[in-house]
Homo-oligomer: A and B are copies of this chain.
Amino acid sequence: MSSPVPQPPLTIGIDFGGTSVKTGVVCGAAVLGEIERIPTRDHPEPERLIAAIGDTVSRMRVEHPGIAAIGIGVPGAVDFDRGVTYNLTNVPGWSNVPLRDRLSDLTGLPAVLENDANCAAYAEFRCGAAQGFRNVVVVTLGTGVGGGLILNGDLYRGSQYAAGEIGQVSIDYRGVDGPYGNFGALERYVGNQQITEIAHRRFHEAGRPVTEEQCSPEVLAEAAREGDEIAHQVWHVVGEYLGTALASVVYLLNPDAIVIGGGVAHAGDVLFEPLRERIRSMLSTEFFEALKIVHARFGNTAGIIGSGALAAELVE
């Protein structure tokens, strides 16, 4: 007879975004039942939004009485040890809110507060594309470029909980300004909008007028898959930019794996092939062969699953 397989604890994962606060019941890599959404702007005051989250949690506990802890990921810097938000991107009024303890007081459950990029990285590490690896770099490609680091088998947060800002790594000391005046910041080269601009320019130079929509990463990926040479060139350039930054990160951190997610990563092979080639060209054969470069497992649910997984850590 085999012993029963241990079940991961049942937790609540909350992905606090600028548009909506999404809450789900998490069990390992699965979200059980429906994800509930609260429009963020419906509750401009933190206390009212916290109360609304508390109501959602109460309803979910009726259906799942075994829920043991709550995790919440927010779009901005947090003080992890104190469980306090510093400030949130695109959500005014949230500086210095002791969100972790407020949620814990309201529900009587242990809670954990983390930055959303770290939650997404933790999701990939605990039950996604980086499961079983010890040192992992997770990159999220979208409007901006986010990141999270797993080092020695745990989230690495840094001295002010601000580590993992891969989007701010410079790829050109003479380059364009990033949001903090940092020259050559990666996200100013491979963000959604920047990819569209590169494509627009390249098509224009080739005498092929295109609309902005035809230059979106999604359309561009489709065009490249269908064999469009200019679309391929655009992804090649994006792969060079991104690969340069990631090779630097590999030299610094010597990870087992790089996990790449976010909307832009849906381009798939048309991005991953030139990206791998660039990284290969910048590393010794030995280190390139030891390195996994993989697509993220989770998409929109990464924040919920990751915050739920962090919550599970509290009670395991």
- Chain A residues within 8 Å of B, Cβ to Cβ: 134-135, 147, 149, 151-152, 156-166, 168-174, 180-184, 240-241, 244-245, 247-249, 251-256, 281-284, 286-287, 290
Contact = CB atoms under 8 A, between A and B. Distances in A.
Nearest to A255: B159
A251 B169 contact: yes
Given A135-B159, A152-B156, A160-B287, A251 B168 contact: yes
19 contacts: A134-B159, A149-B252, A156-B253, A158-B254, A158-B255, A159-B254, A160-B286, A168-B248, A169-B251, A170-B245, A170-B248, A170-B282, A172-B184, A173-B240, A173-B241, A180-B283, A182-B251, A184-B244, A248-B248
A284 B180 CA distance: 6
A290 B163 CA distance: 14
A44 to B, nearest CB: 25
Contacts of A171: 170, 172-173, 184
A252 B163 contact: yes
A282 B252 contact: no
Contacts of A166: 251-252
B283 A159 contact: no
A254 B157 CA distance: 8
Given A134-B159, A183-B282, 9 more contacts: A158-B253, A159-B255, A160-B286, A162-B287, A169-B252, A170-B282, A172-B172, A173-B240, A182-B282
Contacts of A170: 171, 244-245, 247-248, 282
A254 to B, nearest CB: 3
Contact of A172 (B151, B173, B282, B287): B173
A213 B174 CA distance: 29
A114 to B, nearest CB: 15
